Structure 1
Amino acid sequence: MLRRMYSVPEHITMAALGAGLIGAIYPTIMAHTGGRGLSCPLRALTGLPCPFCGLTTATVALTHGEWAAAASTNPLVYLAAALVTATTPILAARFLGLAPPPRPWSAAARARTRYSAYVVVALSWLFQLHRYHFS
C-alpha cells in the first residue's frame, strides 16, 4: 500500500503558508510593478462572485494585522489561518522525521470531511453574494 508523506490538511497548510508569505509581500510587489492586483475570473466573466472572492485581499489584510478588513472581505481566511496554526507543528515534525506518516482516513471520515467542505464553501458563497449585494 502506498503511504502519503503528508495528509490533506497538511497539503492545505503548505498552500496556505505559501499564500501567507505571498500576502505579506504582495502590496510591495504591486507598488513596485504598478499592477492592479488579481481579479476573480468568475466575477470578471459573469459578474457573480465565487466563494473565494476576496481571499487574496483577506490574506494580505490578515498578514498585515488588519483583522476587521480580513473578516469583512472573506472570513474563510480565518479557517485557513486556524488550519495553518493547528497543523504547522505536525507538518514540521513530519518534515524533520519526528512524526510518522499520516494514517489513511476511513471512508466515513472522508465523506464527513467532504460534506463539511461543501457546507463551508456554500456558506462562503452566500457571504460573497451578500457582500456584493446579490439577493
Structure 2
Amino acid sequence: MPFYLEIIICVSLLTGGAFLLIGSYGLVRLPDIYMRLHSPTKASTLGITGVLVASMIFQSHLKGFLSIQELLITLFLLITAPVAANMIAKTALHFRTKPIDKTQGQELMETIRDRKSTKPPHTPR
C-alpha cells in the first residue's frame, strides 16, 4: 500500500475517532435529553463518517475498484440520524420531559406541544 494512502487512512481514522470520543463524552456529560441530542447527531455522525471513509479507501485499494458499500452506509447514516433525533425530541416534548434551567427555548416548548396541524382534516371519499 502506498505511504500516502496510509497517511490519508490514518488521518481519517484519527479524526473520526476523535469525533466519536467527543460525541460519546457529550452523550454522557450533557444534563438533559434536549442537549444530549446534539452529540449523537452531530459529533458521532461525523466520527462514523471518518471511519467509513477510511474503510472505503482501504477496501478500494484492496479490491482495485471503488468500494461503494461504505459510501452507502455513510449516506444512510447522514439521512437517518437527523430524522431519529427529531423523533426523539418530539417524543420528549410529548411526554413533557422537563429540561434543566439552562436549556434555551423553554418558553417555546408549550407552544410546540399544543400547536395544531396546518394540514386540512382528512375527508374520506
- TM-score bracket relative to the smaller structure: 0.3 to 0.5
Question: Relative contact order (alpha carbons < 8 A, sep ≥ 6): 1 or 2 greater?
Answer: 1
TM-score (norm 2): 0.37
Task: From the CA coordinates, give the structure whose radius of gyration is larger.
Answer: 2
TM-score (norm 1): 0.35
